[in-house]
Chain A
């Protein structure tokens, strides 16, 4: 009620303001009504130099699907994907919004079930050799692309080769380095840092002959590994191995831009892509796999960047599902209707403060440990994030294999924190050098880190300097010259502890940013990465994570997640059927997802 009153009184004030000039104009009798002027002349306002001429105004719209507008239609699911993807070429993409596109149109060898276990998808079955070095995928005999051509092992062989091809230079090209046999040699630019010319000068045929991905026959694909990798089946479920076809890719670098080229074997077909606005998907009639038969008749992706607009659209019945922004949570919870539509979800990211162990004062273990318990994670999550997500004390988030709920070493304790710092080589808080907290600048982050700096002031008496830097510059800084103390996160690629813990190995992706290196930790991870016994493997990762938390090169703060708003008429999207790694919530439960208003 409160919210509505406020909103409506605000609206009335503004409405008056908007109407006044019109009233005033009418009072004088001079101005004409503000009818929208005819538009076509816009198109003729001088084209840019030598640019392709502007197309004329759309004549009688040949609307493919009827616009769903403000009312829900049976079988039509409308969701917000937040932004236009930059490139949805499977072997070149990495961003979450891009993956959301790719995995609608394509199906990899594997996919995930509701427990985030890899299950066969384009493959019918998979066999692992006893030594864990060879995977044999049997493809579905009924597998077809949406245009009716069969899916063959050669398609997959092509996709994996293309991923490795130095010319492709995809963002995730280095992921299988040192895992698939012959990959590092073939993809020497990405894996070994060889110069492009040198790489191409070698005998390509020989390199390809040794490449570990081979089509044995039309329906059998063999993948050989360098060393056992128990997480390999999860990797085989990623978008990077999606079987984009050679004849489609031959249409040009931007082949994926046009729906008519974007032909896949996934559960949906891209029928309309109004770039920058929306994309429309319809079920693939030829789809065969664990995600079918698809009950939905259409899925519409809307690219709404401004969360307030998306929230209005949801309230107006123009979206069927929407992630709740932290700022909106209070309004949602006090609304009698909306509060009934909340679905708690857990995210796939963990955020943390990185302590650069090569810079004072964080080279001192005690100082890091002191800082790790100096702030109230519970209060931060409650006050600043409205209780969305959860507090984190260790790296792997809840819901993921390897999560250790009992590992809560650095619970909030300001006295212990001060005592810890007093024990350090600095001898006390007052002797610490200036602390600068660097983070990626945005209006939202400012309020968040203002709060955090307030905590350091209250709990430790430290006047921390806030240093927001532009997101891209921040990204560059964490790679090239990591700041003293910074906020960062990591989001899962695939549900396996290897995707988390290994990143902190010496010279790993995340350890380099804090200068962390611990031989004992490295040894445990190296052993776990190739361990075939799942129980033993989990045990090794757990030990490694304990060392990581104890050493505190970073202080884990929170996991994302929170709530998704789901209209009551959306079926099949419930707490039991969603996973943190869904491309959109309910994706891995596709056969049961439907809209019945």
Chain B
């Protein structure tokens, strides 16, 4: 039944790889292009990346310039409060310090993308590496790595990140890039464990599968089996986890900011990373009654950012699934 069908296709696949290296990414790209949601996601992500890169040219104002007597102006279309009329110069209104919300949003997109992506790269490298090796080798290697994972995962992450940031904040390291470097490190150090466990779990069930056994039986080297056969098959959950992890990293930064240990504030007009969405959301939450727009816009921006990553992630998963090759 299923077994024979599977081994046949595995052998077929192996033949293919042996004779003519199949272009996995070319196929994937072709499939991705057919997926409308994914294309929307990609477009949006590129748009945000563009905004992040071109922030200084896009922002109508400097994000840290404060003007007196100009605080908490509503967006220009909200005109029903005679006490607090919008200022036509600020399309989305101003915050408590009289800074332009739109400009701050544009720069915050930049910081939040970096916060979502840079630690994520570290997390994926560590998490996938450890998960693959642990799951595939098994035995004492698995045991050792899983204990390490467990120890790291056992750090109550919020508690640990806060302690870590508080402890190192005053050092040179803690002050680099407005404190972002410290936040990256703290997030990455505790963030990789669930991914490692996820990958290990996948590998555990995959390595019992027939096509892996077949590949082994054919004498294909372990590293090659890992990279060509196991890894692609674990990509789907990895991508899903990553597409979730990006917003949770952005949110983690917000939590730290809320507790007063996040990014350092900046008043330097030339600072390329003046504020983050987390910081704006925290300010917005504190000012919810007087300036709800201060919360609404960063929340909407963050949601669309997350949804775009998710669509992209889903599309990638479908596109990269080798079993869908014939589709």
Among the stretches A294-302, A463-471, A542-550, the one at the interface with B is A463-471
Say if the beta carbon of B193 comes within 8 Å of chain A: no
Closest to A454 in B: B66
Cβ contact within 8 Å between A5 and B78: yes
Complex: A261 Cα to B279 Cα, angstroms: 45
| Contact A454 to B267, CB < 8 A, known contacts A2-B74, A311-B289, A327-B287 | yes
Closest to A452 in B: B267
> Which residues from chain B contact A194 at a C-beta distance below 8 Å?
none
Among the stretches A147-155, A184-192, A275-283, A329-337, the one at the interface with B is A329-337
Cβ contact within 8 Å between A308 and B289: yes
> Which residues from chain A contact B95 at a C-beta distance below 8 Å?
447
| Contact A444 to B84, CB < 8 A, known contacts A450-B66, A450-B97, A468-B260 | no
> Which residues from chain A contact B296 at a C-beta distance below 8 Å?
6, 10
Say if the beta carbon of B7 comes within 8 Å of chain A: no
Give which listed residue, B64, B84, B96, B261, contacts A384 with CB less than 8 A: B96
List residues 91-149 of chain B with CB under 8 A from any CB of chain A.
95-98
> Which residues from chain A contact B287 at a C-beta distance below 8 Å?
327
Give which listed residue, B78, B264, B265, contacts A6 with CB less than 8 A: B78
> Which residues from chain A contact B258 at a C-beta distance below 8 Å?
443
Complex: A133 Cα to B80 Cα, angstroms: 66
Give which listed residue, A2, A384, A457, A468, contacts B78 with CB less than 8 A: A2
Say if the beta carbon of B282 comes within 8 Å of chain A: yes
| Contact A473 to B71, CB < 8 A, known contacts A334-B83, A441-B261, A450-B97 | no
CB distance from B258 to the nearest CB of A (A): 6
CB distance from B172 to the nearest CB of A (A): 13
Complex: A1 Cα to B169 Cα, angstroms: 43
> Which residues from chain B contact A330 at a C-beta distance below 8 Å?
72, 83-84, 289-291
Q: Mark B255-297, 1 if CB is under 8 A from A, else 0.
A: 0011011001111100000000001001101111111110110
> Which residues from chain A contact B279 at a C-beta distance below 8 Å?
443, 446
A-B contact count (CB 8 A): 121
> Which residues from chain A contact B19 at a C-beta distance below 8 Å?
none
Cβ contact within 8 Å between B97 and A451: yes
How many chain-A residues does the 8 Å CB contact rule pick out? 46
Cβ contact within 8 Å between A466 and B83: no
Q: Mark B44-69, 1 if CB is under 8 A from A, else 0.
A: 00000000000000000000111011
Cβ contact within 8 Å between A327 and B96: yes
CB distance from B27 to the nearest CB of A (A): 33
CB distance from B183 to the nearest CB of A (A): 14
| Contact A447 to B260, CB < 8 A, known contacts A328-B290, A473-B170 | no
Say if the beta carbon of A167 comes within 8 Å of chain B: no
Cβ contact within 8 Å between A450 and B292: no
CB distance from A342 to the nearest CB of B (A): 14
> Which residues from chain B contact A331 at a C-beta distance below 8 Å?
289-290
Say if the beta carbon of B81 comes within 8 Å of chain A: yes
Say if the beta carbon of B220 comes within 8 Å of chain A: no
Complex: A450 Cα to B95 Cα, angstroms: 12
Say if the beta carbon of B325 comes within 8 Å of chain A: no
| Contact A444 to B286, CB < 8 A, known contacts A451-B66, A470-B169, A473-B166 | yes
CB distance from A453 to the nearest CB of B (A): 4
Complex: A182 Cα to B291 Cα, angstroms: 58
Closest to A442 in B: B260
CB distance from B105 to the nearest CB of A (A): 16
> Which residues from chain B contact A449 at a C-beta distance below 8 Å?
265
Say if the beta carbon of A202 comes within 8 Å of chain B: no
> Which residues from chain A contact B96 at a C-beta distance below 8 Å?
327, 383-384, 447
Cβ contact within 8 Å between A446 and B265: yes
Complex: A446 Cα to B263 Cα, angstroms: 10
Give which listed residue, B265, B289, B290, contacts A450 with CB less than 8 A: B265
Complex: A330 Cα to B283 Cα, angstroms: 15
CB distance from B126 to the nearest CB of A (A): 28
Cβ contact within 8 Å between A457 and B285: no
Cβ contact within 8 Å between A327 and B66: no
Complex: A153 Cα to B72 Cα, angstroms: 58
List residues 418-451 of chain A with CB under 8 A from any CB of chain B.
441-447, 449-451
Give which listed residue, A307, A311, A334, A447, contacts B81 with CB less than 8 A: A334
> Which residues from chain B contact A464 at a C-beta distance below 8 Å?
267
Give which listed residue, B166, B264, B289, contacts A328 with CB less than 8 A: B289
- Of the candidates A330, A379, A457, A463, the one having the most CB atoms from chain B within 10 angstroms of its own CB is A330
Closest to A329 in B: B290
| Contact A443 to B266, CB < 8 A, known contacts A308-B289, A383-B69, A469-B170 | no
A-B pairs with lowest CB-CB distance, top 4: A2-B81, A331-B289, A330-B290, A446-B265
Q: Assuming A383-B71, A457-B267, what are 4 further A-B pairs, CB within 8 angstroms?
A: A1-B80, A6-B74, A330-B84, A332-B289
Q: Identify 13 residue pairs between A and B in the complex whose beta-carbon atoms are under 8 Å apart, listed by A's number.
A: A2-B80, A10-B295, A327-B96, A333-B83, A379-B69, A383-B71, A383-B97, A441-B260, A450-B97, A468-B264, A468-B265, A470-B166, A473-B169
Binding site for B on A (CB under 8 A): 1-3, 5-7, 10, 307-308, 311, 325, 327-334, 376, 379, 382-384, 386, 441-447, 449-451, 453-454, 457, 463-464, 466, 468-471, 473
